[in-house]
Amino acid sequence: MLIETRNMISMTEANQNFSRVARMVDEKGSAIIMKNNKPRYLIVDFSEAESLQAATDENVMSISRKLIEQNRKAYEELAK
């Protein structure tokens, strides 16, 4: 995942000024909260969460094909 440096905010700042985090998400689509100078939390608009979470049918089919090819012998043995 690429991280936009404009979307980063420290844990201290987020804790003290959460409305700034909310505005950042509204304007830029996401906010990254840093903890100990490392990206720790990703805040996204709730309506975007589902699209980030759900795999497309094409992705599922592609992964399925790959697994079938890698384990063809086991699948053939189970089919007997």
β-bridge partners, 44: 30
Task: Give the DSSP per-residue string, 50-74.
Answer: HHHHPPPHHHHHHHHHHHHHHTHHH
pTM of the model: 0.58
The reported pLDDT for the residue numbered 41 is 93
pLDDT by residue for the chain (80 residues), tens only, comes to: 566 778 899 999 999 999 999 999 999 888 999 999 999 999 988 887 776 666 677 777 888 888 888 888 887 888 87
